[in-house]
Amino acid sequence: METFATLLELIGTIAFAASGALIAMKKRMDLLGVIILGVITAVGGGILRDLILGITPPLAFRDPLCAVVAIATSVLLFIPWLRHRLMHNQRLFDVVLLIMDSIGLGVFTVMGIWNALTFTVHHSAFLLIFVGVLTGVGGGVIRDVLAGNMPFILVKYVYACASLIGAFACALLRKLLPLYAAMLFGMLLVLIIRLLAAHYHWNLPHADDVE
């Protein structure tokens, strides 16, 4: 199970680091800015999760693997020919950002639940769901604030709702299925909802009609 969790976390780290690096490049940041935003997006939610759970120092500071992977991902996307292709093809940029951000959201939502189950003795459904959503959206919120954007969680295609539904499904199914199966189901549910919401422009009601 630990090998599965490690692999899943690496996938999520690559995905979220890529989304952070893409946003940074769109904002015309230099290489250091791209790396910082990539790393913060990848590990930010996990750090917030660990502080809530009382895991100190946070796991990201105990094992540098995820930070190293995030740095490598950010540097890779900064390679001139790849950066040029992404920055000069808006359609490609939007698709890659959506897919990477959705994968990261799904993976870290269920990884938050796994960490809560692994490192704490309090396994209430409310705690698991809260920590799952916090882990999923936390890094993206920090990314958007640093980039000067309105956080996705507040405006973008049922972003937090997708994480909430996936976390709820994972927390519920863990009692009926093996944990890895519940995590995979929750992750895929988040991913599918995010992609469908983006395709069909599903969103919660906005306050743009208030006088």
- Which residue, 23, 51, 49, is CA-closest to 36? 23
b/e map 8-27, b = 16+ CB within 10 Å: bbebbbbbbbbbbbbbbbee
Q: Where are the domains positioned within the chain?
A: 2-200
User: How is residue 81 written in tokens?
Assistant: 């020919």
Phi-psi region of 28 (alpha: psi -120 to 50; beta: other; left: phi over 0): left
From first to last of its 211 residues, the chain has per-residue pLDDT tens of: 888 999 999 999 999 999 999 999 999 999 999 999 999 999 999 999 999 999 989 999 999 999 999 999 999 999 999 999 999 999 999 999 999 999 999 999 999 999 999 998 888 999 999 999 999 999 999 999 999 998 888 777 788 999 999 999 999 999 999 999 999 999 999 999 999 999 888 887 776 655 5
